[in-house]
Amino acid sequence: MPVLKQYTADLGGLPINGGRPASGADLGSGAALEQFGQTTQNTLNNITSMQENDEARTALVKSTQIRAKYSELLDQAQASGADTQKLREEMNNELATIGNDFATTHGHESLDLYTSNANISFENHANAINVERAAADAKAKGNEWLNAQSALLSRDPTELASSVKDAGAFVDTFSSLPPEQRTLIKQHLTQQLNMSAALSVARVNPVDAKNKLNNGEWDLTPAQRQQALRDADYSERAIRSEQAAARAEARQQKVDANESASSDVISLIMQGKAKNLDFFNPALTPAARENLLHFQDWWTRERDSGLKRSDPIAKRNLWLGINAPNDDPNKILTIDPIFKQVQEGKLNTQDANQLIGMLRSSPDEQGNKFRTRLAMRMNNMGHAIYSDPGYSDIAADIQNELLAKAEDAAQTMRKNGQDPNMMLDPSSKDYFFKPGLIKSTADDIRQQLAPKYPSVQNQDEYDALKPGDVYMDATTGQTHIKQGSQQESYGKIGGR
């Protein structure tokens, strides 16, 4: 084995202290080394602190920008219906990329905090949108359901209790809505269903409906109750108008029957075939029967003593009256003026019979006979229409519409080889003046007029109008002009 060479060193004046490691102080430079180490450590700490602050600042700025971006995207999604959950995933992916270059724990912790805040903000915004979407969906489907139920109640208002129960079950299906909002929707549907039932009763039995409404029946808002009362008033007036028109038509039927029977008896008289029984036709009025008996006496005297010449002026005037236009106030529509001229000795029975025949059988090709009878009915209906304040504003429109419909129907019957006079016969399937004709025509006219003016059905809509604005009452269909101040009571307009 080789032997290593040994060396010795002279320590000179270096201190020796029990064999412990030498310190900076032992070496003569301890304070300087300690100061250097502290300075280095402080520098490292400052660099780390600056990096932490820089990363935290970056996390805050960029997360705020991303939050603003997705807040705007949520607003757009609210309008477009886009999926909010997909937006949340995209936002979190963008937030995660912010910390890709972070080296400090503080930077990552700051980013985690801002990401959490961004998600909380997003969640609140998205929840508000989802609730609004659910509310809109509930409103749309609720309207569909309500329309179907209202149609059912309009036919059978006794189904109200069942419909209200179904309304509660229907609203409970919208579990994403807050409970208080579901309660409000249930209340709205319930009141609307009650309104449909009330209006259904008002159309059929307005007097009974008004009694029930005044006694607090049906779950309605004050505004709905007042509207239902107005609708019941309108229905009551409409029924009265129809009844008045029916009475006028019945009277006209008696007039027509009397005129027809009188013509038949006169024809028998002129042929010398009239018998006592013929004068007791139940269709004859007492006055007509008396006139016919006189007519027979006049005819008998003329037969026995010779025919007396008629007054040419009287005969001409009667002819002109019979053939006058339908709108001429002097037009002759009955045989009474002819009888009167015979009674006064100005017209012989032969000329009277000729004029009566002309009156009863004017050429239908010109529409004279039909139009004459139609005009008589229109005059009767006109009195009923004009006497009803609910129709006074469109009375002329109703008459014009009825005339137009009647003329069209008559023209169709002529083309089909049918007698248009069947339209005036209550026993005919083609009878024109059926019950409800006035109301249905008035409703059609009001519907045609509706787009011209705003429809008002409650106080808020009325308050939105300016004085002088023309509007249509949604309940009655009548047009009005707003008078007075902005805050005038809607319920007092038009005497309601």
Instruction: For residue range 290-315, list pLDDT tens digits in order.
Output: 888 888 888 888 888 877 778 878 88
What b/e string do you get for 151-160 counting C-beta neighbours within 10 Å, with b at 16 or more? Answer: ebbeeebebb
Residue range 410-425: average pLDDT? Answer: 87
Q: Has residue 358 been placed in a domain? A: yes
Same domain, yes or no: 471 and 421 = no
Same domain, yes or no: 187 and 304 = no
Q: Are 163 and 193 in contact (CB under 8 A)?
A: yes
Nearest CA to 285 out of 253, 332, 247 is that of 253
pLDDT higher than 50, residue 278: yes
Q: Tell me what pLDDT residue 364 has.
A: 46
Same domain, yes or no: 281 and 183 = no
Same domain, yes or no: 314 and 392 = yes
Q: Tell me what pLDDT residue 490 has.
A: 54
Q: Tell me what pLDDT residue 3 has.
A: 52
pLDDT higher than 50, residue 456: yes
Q: Has residue 447 been placed in a domain? A: no
Q: pLDDT: is 127 or 248 the higher one?
A: 248
Same domain, yes or no: 359 and 408 = yes
Same domain, yes or no: 280 and 427 = yes
Note every long-range contact of 14-17, with CB atoms under 8 Å and residues 24 or more positions apart, other chains counting: none
- CA–CA separation, 374 vs 326, rounded Å? 10
Q: Has residue 36 been placed in a domain? A: no
pLDDT higher than 60, residue 110: yes
Residue range 148-157: average pLDDT? Answer: 84
Same domain, yes or no: 471 and 416 = no
Please write the tens of the pLDDT for every residue from 7-19. 555 555 555 555 5
Same domain, yes or no: 352 and 316 = yes
Q: Tell me what pLDDT residue 215 has.
A: 92
Q: Has residue 315 been placed in a domain? A: yes
Confidence at 350, pLDDT banded by 50, 70, 90: confident
Q: Has residue 12 been placed in a domain? A: no
- CA–CA separation, 59 vs 121, rounded Å? 16
Q: Has residue 26 been placed in a domain? A: no
Residue range 122-139: average pLDDT? Answer: 70
Same domain, yes or no: 162 and 124 = yes
First-to-last CA distance in the chain? 135
Same domain, yes or no: 146 and 266 = no
Q: Write out the residue range of the structural domain in which residue 491 sits.
A: 453-495
- CA–CA separation, 83 vs 126, rounded Å? 10
Confidence at 494, pLDDT banded by 50, 70, 90: very low
Q: Has residue 193 been placed in a domain? A: yes
Q: Has residue 312 been placed in a domain? A: yes
| CA 237 to chain CA centroid, nearest Å | 22
Same domain, yes or no: 196 and 341 = no
Count of domains observed in the chain: 3
Same domain, yes or no: 329 and 372 = yes
Please write the tens of the pLDDT for every residue from 159-203. 888 888 888 888 888 877 788 888 888 888 888 889 888 988 888
